[in-house]
Amino acid sequence: MRAHSLILLFIILALTSVSATSIQFAAPSNQALLPQTTTTISMLQGTTQPIKVGPGNQLNPHVACSLASYTNDDLEGTSTIRYLDFATNTEHVLPGNGLDRTSDIDGQRIAFTQLEADGDHVMIYDIASQTTSSVPGNQNRDPAIGGNLIAFVHGPFSELASNEIAVYDRSTGNVTQLTNDTLLDRFPSVSPDGKVVVWEKCQPNGTGCDIYSATQIGPSSFTTRFVSGAAGDVFSDTNGQFIAYTSNKSGENDIYLQRTDGSTEMHLSIPGDQRDLRMSGHLLVFESQTADLSYDVFLYDLSSARLYQVTNTRSSETLSDVVAGCNGVNRIVYAVPGAGDFDVYAFTFQLSDSITDQLNDLTALVQSFNLHDGTETSLLSKLQDALAAINSSDTAAACDSLTAFINASQAQSGKKLTANQVMQLVDSATQARTDLGCR
């Protein structure tokens, strides 16, 4: 799960098939819509494998590099946390009391909820040492792990309106409460570096939800920010650079993004409802409603502005997660309804966007802005110079051309280009420079 400089192209896509369709790039509410273009929604190529298929419920899958954790409920009173090691294709059961659920994993540790006589406890299992420790206090549940930080819900399950979001810092042993109100705070997520926490804040009955974030500015010290508020703002996640969430402010559940330090809200508007989104690096995975009203898994690559369909069933997959670029491999995990229960699967894939593909996408983006001929020609000439240098294996010249493109784009901010257009161009060119290894 790595943060990258991201291209922010926002599209309206017809998801009822994988054939050619029309796309409209959606700008923020204070920006005009960009012209239409044509693309194809491809089925993502990769390998599907079962993680756990069998009696009982397999739920809440999470993935980190070559490991995936999930809850195994036998529907007879016993619930355990398990994880699959993809490298060895072996399944492991965490030591617990048979009342364990809702895990999260960072590749080295698994945080999970354990029900005990005095209420829920958040436990931390160290995979290497095979030892388990506990977050201080009881009535703690639903953990999310990232860096040295574990975020969780604190409060009795019987009194949801009094539940708060708290964090435990493994490096200091301190617990810090991030919220203190009479609203329903729930569903925390943590960035991979442990610096940003996001969650939902809802009315006591679970409606009217808003998205909040907290950024760590020092040991046990956080700055809290209101991210977005509208009826139905839910399912937030963060990669440390961006915060993604779904909202029904457009009339259906769509995906929105903001930078973690605050920015104009950006809208990825796709017909049908989107749900259960998760972020990792430049990858965004979610389920989207299709023509038969079931839900399939889709992947949006922020670095190339490409949308892929991952599953094509009538099973309504749910609760997906994704990890980007672990040893060159990307992986999605998700739950699928079975015969009265749920099973969990993994999908392993690679994305082969070349620098040439990125620059061609960037060229198309510039052209989509319908700029004055002189401005467009100036920007496109720098991209053409970069492409020519790449074709001649002259990386240094390509880097210089991309730097010139970035400078030229920034110089037009508030003039021939809006701030949002400049951000898209600069993020895309910066990503290309990073992938080229420019200094």
Q: Domain span at residue 271?
A: 42-349
Half-sphere exposure of 273 (CA within 13 A, CB side): 13
Pair (396, 283) in one structural domain: no
Stretch 242-248: mean pLDDT = 93
Q: Clarify whether residues 324 and 404 are in a common domain.
A: no
75-113 pLDDT, tens digit each: 999 999 999 999 999 999 999 999 999 999 999 999 999
Tokens of 206: 């679970």
Look at residue 355 and tell me whether its pLDDT is greater than 70: yes
Q: Determine contact, residues 225/217, Cβ cutoff 8 Å.
A: no
Given a cut of 60, whether residue 345 has pLDDT beyond it is: yes
Per-residue model confidence (pLDDT) at position 40: 55
The answer for residues whose C-beta is within 8 angstroms of residue 360's C-beta and 6 or more apart is 387
C-beta separation of 317 from 287 below 8 A: yes
Residues 337 and 385 in one domain: no
Q: Looking at the whole model, is its pTM more than 0.85?
A: no
In a domain, 35, yes or no: no
What would the DSSP string read from start to end of 375-396? HHHHHHHHHHHHHHHHHTT-HH
**Does 334 lie in the same domain as 398?**
no
- 28 within some domain: no
Is residue 359 domain-shared with residue 238, that is, in the same domain? no
- 45 close to 74: Cβ distance less than 8 angstroms: no
pLDDT of residue 231: 62
Task: For residue 85, give Cα distances in angstroms to 75, 88, 181, 347, 373.
Answer: 25, 6, 41, 14, 55
d(CA 96, CA 123): 9
Query: Are 358 and 331 found together in one domain?
Result: no
Give the whole-number percent of the chain exceeding pLDDT 90: 64
Q: Which of 301, 330, 349 corresponds to the end of one domain?
A: 349
CA-nearest of 168, 169, 142 to 153 is 142
pLDDT tens figures, 15-61: 222 222 222 223 333 332 222 233 457 899 999 999 999 889 999 99
Element (H, E) at 359: helix 355-368
Residues across the chain: 439
Tokens of 430: 């910066």
Domain boundary (349, 372, 388) is at 349
For residue 139, pLDDT beyond 50: yes
pLDDT confidence of residue 332: 97
pLDDT of residue 72 exceeding 50, the answer is yes
CA angle (164 as vertex; 163, 166 as ends), nearest 5: 140
Q: How many structural domains compose the chain?
A: 2
Distance CA 319, CA 101 (A): 14
Looking at residues 287-292, what average pLDDT do you find? 88
Answer for the pair 57, 342: CB distance below 8 angstroms, yes or no: yes
Helix (H) or strand (E) holding 306: strand 306-309
Extract the runs of DSSP E, i.e. beta strands, from 127-272.
Answer: 131-134, 140-146, 149-154, 164-169, 174-177, 184-190, 196-202, 210-218, 221-229, 234-238, 242-247, 254-259, 266-268
pLDDT band of 236, cuts 50, 70, 90? very high
Q: How confident is the model at residue 11 (pLDDT cuts 50, 70, 90)?
A: very low
Identity of residue 143: P
> Is 331 a member of any domain?
yes
Token couple for 254: 């769509």
Q: Please check whether residue 274 lies inside any domain of the structure.
A: yes
Do 114 and 99 meet the contact criterion of CB atoms below 8 Å apart? yes
**What's the pLDDT score for residue 290?**
86
Q: Tell me if 6 is assigned to some domain.
A: no
Same domain, yes or no, for 259 and 118?
A: yes
In a domain? residue 16: no
CATH number of the domain residue 275 falls in: 2.130.10.120
Q: Where residue 244 falls among pLDDT bands split at 50, 70, 90?
A: very high
Whole-angstrom Cα distance, residue 220 to residue 41? 45
> Looking at 330, 349, 368, which one is the last position of a domain?
349
Structure tokens at 233: 């703002």
Nearest to residue 265, comparing CAs of 34, 427, 26? 26
Whether residues 172 and 316 fall in one domain: yes
Q: Strand pairing partners for 48?
A: 347
Q: Which two tokens stand for residue 55?
A: 């009696």
pLDDT bin (cut points 50, 70, 90) of residue 327 is confident
Q: Tell me which of 437 and 6 has the higher pLDDT.
A: 437
Whether 9 shows a pLDDT value over 50: the answer reads no
Question: Do residues 341 and 366 both lie within one domain?
Answer: no
User: Would you state the pLDDT for residue 18?
Assistant: 28
Residues 284 and 403 in one domain: no
Average pLDDT, the chain: 86
Q: Tokens for 57, please give them.
A: 């419920």
Q: HSE-up of 432 (CA within 13 Å, CB side)?
A: 32
Q: Are residues 338 and 251 in the same domain?
A: yes
* 23 located within any domain: no
Question: Does 113 reside within a domain?
Answer: yes
pLDDT at residue 352, rounded to an integer: 65
- Report phi then psi at 410, rounded to 5: -65, -35
**Residues 239 and 385 grouped into a single domain:** no
pLDDT of residue 305: 72
Gap between the Cα atoms of 69 and 337, Å rounded: 18
CA 304, distance to chain mean position in Å, is 15
